[in-house]
Amino acid sequence: MTVPPAQPTPAGSTAPPAGPTFYVTTAIPYVNGDPHLGHALELVQTDVLARHARLRGRPTRFLTGTDDHALKNVSAARAADREVGGFVAERVEDFRALRPALSLSTDDFLSTSSDPRHRPGVEALWRRCAEAGDFYRRSYEGLYCAGCEQFYTPDELDASGRCPEHVPLPERVVEENWFFRLSRYRDRIREEIATGRVRINPAAKRNEVLAFIDAGLEDFSVSRPAARSDGWGVPVPGDPSQVVYVWWDALTNYVTALGYGSDQADPGAADDYRTWWSGGNERVHVIGKGITRFHAVYWLALLLSAGEPLPTTIHVHDYVTAGGAKLAKSAGTAVHPVGLVDAYGTDALRWWFAREVPLLGDAEFTTERLVARHDDELAHGVGNLVNRTLTLVHRFRDGVVPALPRTRASAPDELGSAVGQVAPAVDAALADADLRTATGAVWRIVDAANRYVNAEKPWELAARERAGGTDAGGRLDEVLARLVEACRVVAAELSPFVPDGAARLREQLLPAAAAGGQRAGDDRVGSPDPVFPRLG
């Protein structure tokens, strides 16, 4: 079984896709600092889900972008003695550059400060919530964490008075803002999550959200004084003295990228929105644990207020750590993904994310672990299996793959089971965004195929064939054909995880198809060149 390489779904297509669509998004990061390994993790995880959906033939759209209107972006620009707009625009390009570096298949990238789709959608959602009677204005005093861009109550801080995510102490802020009636939606949000209509994965994160809801939901600030940010942000409709709070602004990117609120200026935008954010289609967010409440509580409330569909799934991942600490510029633990790619390659980094990061719990990063995982599994495991298989086909059948017999000589075995079970196993694992389990299913084929070679000893079958041994040639044909089939399945199923390496495998295993054509009955393989050279 060989699956052709998937092609990204064109963003903004006017023809609606056939069948249920799969819309998947990352959270959007602040641009006050360089991209780090935590950003790369989320991008790669989401890319795997998008590529896998396309591989299975699903109409797919993958969105990412940047959160430009944060106060921390304003502070960073001030510290650099730069005009905020120019500073932000320059930093946005650093995040755009992750697409080629990480081999991402993104269909869309939205910068909240410069994309013309965004502000109309923010204003439209605000007006819908205002029409529902969910805003009121009042003075507020609270503890504000600049790193999180949110207010905390004292009991949410640790013993030293710090937030769970950042070292600097929150500052006490007194200001008059617009508030959203979150408390009005407590029961409806709880029901959506408890019934699974909005699935929060993994279950431990779902339970944390339900506990947060059960503790009571307080109304929250959705604006800030424009003077506090020098006017940087989207003005509150009807109140230019305030700008829309950064979290409201950022959350709306998931629908503004689809043309929400832009239908008057662009009639086609409404079709885009209905195509990807409606009915029985999947609407999936991939986020880090530090922003769960915003996506699983606040975002749901805003959409309920506006009468819009909710996301169907929220996948929550934990953190990549270094020395036991969360990767962050402010903590001095940031690791730049482009530097790692330059040193070790995209395949190595993507494979480390897929194999080392658990569904639940933080993952400690070291370059030694990255190199070991690449060399042990990609270079020695996958690479050695493919090299070995191609060498055998060239040596004993002049590079032509024998046809698989309709009735195989052997009973079902470990290799056949691994090949037959891989697709449903990968599908089930990635439905839970469990990349480790999904790649484990692919790895079972590699293990089984290497054991199959050692058990069947094709070199001995070839010797018996030359000596005129009965049925040795037919048995050798079956062994070689099954090995090539297994390698081709591995290459196809690996394509969401290591697309560059999988493409190189395809060029060797299906050179005519990769070049755009193949004559019937002429199934040849390419030369056995190393696809994953060792790093260590």
Active site residues: 36, 39, 145, 148, 163, 166, 326, 329
Separation between Cα atoms, residue 38 and residue 33, nearest integer Å: 13
First to last CA, the chain: 33
C-alpha torsion sign, points 444, 445, 450, 455: positive
DSSP character for 19? S
Task: Please name which of 77, 86, 143, 134 lies closest in space to residue 248, comparing C-alpha atoms.
Answer: 134
Largest pairwise CA distance in the chain: 94
Amino acid at 195: T
* Tokens representing residue 487 in the block: 């390698």
* Tokens representing residue 208 in the block: 């944390």
Helices 414-431, 472-494: axis angle to 10 degrees equals 10
Separation between Cα atoms, residue 286 and residue 272, nearest integer Å: 21
**DSSP per position, 177-212:** EEEE-GGGGHHHHHHHHHTTSSEEESHHHHHHHHHH
Separation between Cα atoms, residue 83 and residue 81, nearest integer Å: 7
Helices 458-466, 384-397: axis angle to 10 degrees equals 0
Are the CB atoms for 508 and 526 separated by under 8 Å? yes
E-only strand ranges, 77-233: 108-111, 135-145, 150-152, 171-180, 199-201, 220-221, 223-225
The reply to whether omega before 202 is within 30° of 0 (cis) is yes
